[in-house]
Amino acid sequence: MTDYRKLVDEALAAKAYAYAPYSGLHVGAALLCNDSEIFTGVNVENVSYGATNCAERTAVFKAVSEGKREFSAIAVTSDLDKPIYPCGICRQVLTEFKIPIVIVADRNGNYKIHRTEELIPNAFSEF
């Protein structure tokens, strides 16, 4: 099994930059590209709550907007004592970019590994 320690640690470090004045929940993500580069992301909230962007999507959009298209895994963590799981919209975005592995971690960095397909079975994809 691949060791995702470094990726989880990057997600934990990124969490410090979360902008979460409304929920108070700080979330950090780290996306591993096939070329080994890592892009981090945090949740960026808005007073108009629906305009909030989750940490996972921030990481994906940063990477895609810098030309990356091939990914191997994404790690996500938060302030919680249990692993945090991506929301439905983020799962759809992970599907779009064929990110195969999602690592969910708690605040101490304990993590579990999932295949994206498990988290969003029968996803809407190509048509």
Q: Which residues bind ligand THU (CB under 6 A)?
A: 20, 23, 25, 27, 43, 45, 52, 54-56, 76, 84, 86-87, 90
- In the complex, the smallest distance separating the C-beta of residue 101 from ligand THU, rounded to whole angstroms, is 15
Question: Is 56 assigned a catalytic role?
Answer: yes
Strands 38-42 and 111-115: unpaired
CA-to-CA separations, 57 to 87, 116, 127, in angstroms, rounded: 10, 14, 23
Distance CA 31, CA 57 (A): 10
- In the complex, the smallest distance separating the C-beta of residue 29 from ligand THU, rounded to whole angstroms, is 7
61 Cβ contact list (under 8 Å, min separation 6)? 41, 53
- In the complex, the smallest distance separating the C-beta of residue 41 from ligand THU, rounded to whole angstroms, is 8
List the catalytic residue out of 10, 37, 45, 56: 56
Q: Which two tokens stand for residue 89?
A: 């919209």
**For residues 20 and 93, which CB has a smaller minimum distance to ligand THU in the complex?**
20
Q: Which two tokens stand for residue 124?
A: 């809407």
**For residues 67 and 88, which CB has a smaller minimum distance to ligand THU in the complex?**
88
**For residues 25 and 64, which CB has a smaller minimum distance to ligand THU in the complex?**
25
| Residues carrying an active site annotation | 56
